[in-house]
Chain A
Amino acid sequence: MKHPLALLGMVSALTLSSMAWAGASADEVEDLLARAAAAHEQALALEHGWAVTEPFMEQARQALADGNVDAAHELAQRALLTAEKSVAQAQSEAEAWKGRVLGS
Chain B
Amino acid sequence: MFVSGWRRLALGGVVALTAQVNAAPEDDLAALRSFYEKRFPDIALEAHIDGAYALDEGKREQWLEMEDFPPYEIAIDEGAELFEEALADGSSYSDCLGDDAPVVKQNYPYFDETTGQVMTLDLAINNCRVAAGDEAWDYLGPEMAALTAFIAYESRDEEVAVEIPDDPRALAAYEDGKAFYYTRRGQLNFACSHCHMTMVGNKLRAERLSATLGHTTHWPVYRLKWKETGPLHRRFMECNSQVRGVPLEPQSVSYRNLEYFLSYQSNGLVLNGPATRK
Q: Which residues of A contact B (CB under 8 A)?
A: 44, 47-52, 54, 82, 85-86, 89, 93, 96-98, 100-103
Contact = CB atoms under 8 A, between A and B. Distances in A.
Contacts of B193: 100
Contact of B186 (A44, A50, A102): A50
B59 interface: no
B246 A44 contact: yes
6 contacts: A50-B187, A50-B246, A51-B186, A51-B244, A98-B182, A101-B178
A100 B35 CA distance: 13
Contacts of A44: 246
Nearest to B246: A49
B60 interface: no
Q: How large is the interface on B (under 10, 10 to 19, 20 to 34, 35 or more residues)?
A: 20 to 34
A50 B241 CA distance: 9
Interface of B: 27-28, 31-32, 35, 178-179, 182-187, 189, 191, 193, 197, 241, 244-246, 248, 254
B35 A102 contact: yes
Contacts of B183: 93, 96-97
Contacts of B189: 89
Contacts of A101: 28, 178, 182
Nearest to A51: B244
A89 B185 contact: yes
A97 B254 CA distance: 15
Chain A CB count within 10 A is highest, among B184, B246, B254, for B246
A48 B179 CA distance: 13
Contact of B182 (A48, A54, A100): A100
B32 A51 contact: no
Contacts, number: 52
A29 to B, nearest CB: 22
Which 9 residue pairs spanning A and B have beta carbons closest together? A49-B246, A102-B31, A97-B182, A97-B183, A100-B182, A103-B31, A51-B244, A50-B187, A93-B183
A101 B27 CA distance: 11
A19 to B, nearest CB: 30
Nearest to B188: A50
A50 B183 CA distance: 14
Contacts of A103: 27, 31
Given A50-B186, A89-B184, A102 B32 contact: yes
Nearest to A49: B246
Contacts of B185: 47-48, 89, 93
A44 B249 CA distance: 12
Contact of A97 (B31, B191, B245): B191
B246 A51 contact: yes
B91 to A, nearest CB: 36
B230 to A, nearest CB: 20
A88 to B, nearest CB: 11
Contacts of A86: 187
Contacts of A100: 182, 191, 193
Contacts of B184: 89, 93, 96-97
A51 B27 contact: no
A101 B178 CA distance: 8
B244 A52 contact: yes
B89 to A, nearest CB: 36
Contacts of A47: 185, 248, 254
